[in-house]
Each structure stands twice: as structure tokens, then as C-alpha cells.
Copies of this chain bind each other. A is one copy, B any other.
Amino acid sequence: MQKEKNAPTMADVAREAGVALGTVSRVVNGQQVGEEFRIKVEEAIRKLGYQYNSSGRTLRTGNTNTIAFIIPNTINPYFALLVHHINRALEKRNCKMLLCFSEYDTNREIEYIQMARQNQVDGIIALTYNPNLTIPADVPFVTIDRFFSTSVPCIASDNFGGGWLAAHKLKEFGCANVAFMRVASSLTNEPSKRKDGFVSACVELGMPFEIMALEDGQPFSEIETFLRSHLKEGKFAFEGLFIGTDSLAWEVIRLLRSMNIRVPEDVQVIGFDGIRMFGDQEPIVSTIVQPVQEIAEACVSTVLSKHLSNVPSLICLPVQYAYGGTTKE
């Protein structure tokens, strides 16, 4: 019924070239074939404009050469950057990417995971915020930033080291007292170690510090009142601020400036992620840069390695500090 375009098949090529079907298959897959046969087949392929049929191949082999990448969205530039590098890493290995937006919604995640069982993808890379997600045992599965169990490889930045580095930088810049700030729910699991590293370093350095947590989904205006509550006579209570994500840092800086607190003159701010506006050289805020490309590479090579049993269950990759105009240079 919907047979409108009758694309040529291997059988057509075989007929045209006067050879057996299997011979065509071996030519297409680059296996050993006698010279004169190969030429005849290649000619027929060119002549008919033959292209292999993906579903036929997949049905036979069970491989799709496609990996699903589950991510909340692509609005956050850090996620967008991840998507970019995951795709590049997959491409390098002749794989395609099926992009799945969870929108932080568990049902969507579950739905997408079903696809793997429908043999639409060979494996899944996921960045999820749901700690109770049921991860299928029979599908190659890799997570970013979330440790579920030793049987599910997790790729993450060195979050602890990042927090530690941020504290040291703020100390170096001469901050007398500092604070760590985050949206509570956004930094769970591995990323929560950003705080641990920060605290650990502050203690070690003897630098007074405070921990501030914003409630999840706190509207813009409440962050402002929160910040105002730390004002004393027009001056901000802290000389240094380490903020869990660049996105929050961006908002906080805008609010501080609207309150006539100068950044970085009055408060020095360091974010986390390494977001750049249009791929520019300079991050939008001074920040701890996650090694996105390396994370992507690790995800892809891990999810594609069939023998997942031999793979580490947690891979931590080193971070770096980068100046973005919100700290002293």
C-alpha cells in the first residue's frame, strides 16, 4: 500500500550483476570477494543506485548502531554542549544519536528506556535527576553524574576536586569569608561533592564559610529576597561566592548587580560547568570547567564496549578553573 518508492534491493543488484545474493552482501560489507565479482557487483550497485536497507540489516544482526542520549533539555547550554560532544564521539565510531528530552520527567525517561528494549538503540547514555530510576539490566547503560550501582557505569567530573579548587581560588583572590550556594535538588549524587570539596578546603585553609541552599523551583524574586537577607548596611556579607552551577551564578550575579553589589569588586563569584555563550573563548562567569569532551568520549566508549563487566563503575575526570570576568584576574 505505501510502496511508492521501490528502492533497489540486494536481490536487484544480484540479478543485475548476475551473481548470487550472498555475494552482493559480502561486497557491501567489505568481505573477501573475487576481483571480477566485486567489480561486477560494484558496477550494478552504482547503476541501480543501491543503498542498504537499515531495518533489514538491523533485523538480521540485532545492531542498530544508534545510541539514545537522555537529557533534561537542550536549553541549558551545558546540556547543549554535552549533546554536541556526545554526538561527535558517536560519529567517530559510525554511530548515530537518538536524542531524548526528559524535561526532568520520570515518565518520559521510562518511555525512552523502553526504546532500547524495542531494539531501536544499542545502548543508552543518560543524565537523569531521578534517583529511583529503574535501569534495565540487559541494555548497555551509562549515566552522567549519577551513581546508581556498581553495575551501571557512571561518568562524572571530579566534583570534589572542583569544589576544593574553587575554595583555593577564592582564598588566593583574598576573600576573607566565603559561601557556597546551590539549588538543593539540582546537586544530588555526584555533583553534591562540589560542596564537600569546598567545605573540606575551607576548613583546611581556615577560611570562614557558610552553606546556603535554595529551595527547588524558587522563583527569581525569592532568590532576591534571600540575597537581600545577607546584606548589612548595603554591603554583602561575603567576599567570595562559590555557586553550584553557572546558570544559578548567572542569575545571582544579575541580581547582585541590580542591588548595587559590584561583581567582582565587592563579591567574587565562581560558578561550575564552564558555559560559554556562543562557543566563545571566555566563559560567561568565572567557573570550574567540566571536561565535557572527555566526559562524552568516556560515555560513548563505555556504552559501546560490549563487555560492560570489565568497565569501571565510576570514572572521574579532572576539572579546571577558568576566568570569566566575575573574579579578580
Contact = CB atoms under 8 A, between A and B. Distances in A.
Contacts of A234: none
A257 to B, nearest CB: 11
Contacts of A56: 55, 59
A74 interface: yes
Interface residues of A, number: 51
B99 A247 contact: no
Contact of A2 (B63, B81, B278): B63
A55 B119 contact: yes
Interface string A39-67: 00000000000011111101101111010
Contacts of A63: 2
A76 B51 CA distance: 33
Given A75-B80, A80-B77, A99 B97 contact: yes
A98 interface: yes
A98 B7 CA distance: 22
Contacts of A251: 278, 280
A13 to B, nearest CB: 14
A279 interface: yes
Each complex incorporates copies of this chain amounting to 2
Nearest to A83: B74
Contacts of A91: 101
**Most chain B C-beta atoms within 10 Å of own C-beta, residue among A96, A250, A284:** A96
Contacts of A3: 62
Given A59-B56, A62-B2, A98 B101 contact: no
Contacts of A84: 73-75, 101
A263 to B, nearest CB: 15
Contacts of A157: none
A25 interface: no
A53 B250 contact: no
B75 A279 contact: yes
Contacts of A114: 51
A328 B99 CA distance: 40
Nearest to A118: B54
Contacts of A76: 278-279
Contacts of A98: 66, 96-99
Nearest to A281: B220
Contacts of A52: 118
Contacts of A62: 2-3
24 contacts: A3-B62, A7-B117, A7-B119, A51-B114, A51-B117, A52-B118, A53-B59, A54-B119, A55-B56, A55-B119, A55-B120, A59-B59, A66-B98, A74-B81, A75-B77, A75-B279, A76-B279, A77-B278, A80-B80, A87-B99, A98-B98, A99-B99, A247-B278, A250-B277
Instruction: Give the 9 A-B residue pairs with the shortest CB-CB distance, closest first.
Output: A55-B58, A55-B59, A54-B120, A75-B279, A80-B80, A51-B117, A54-B118, A74-B80, A99-B99
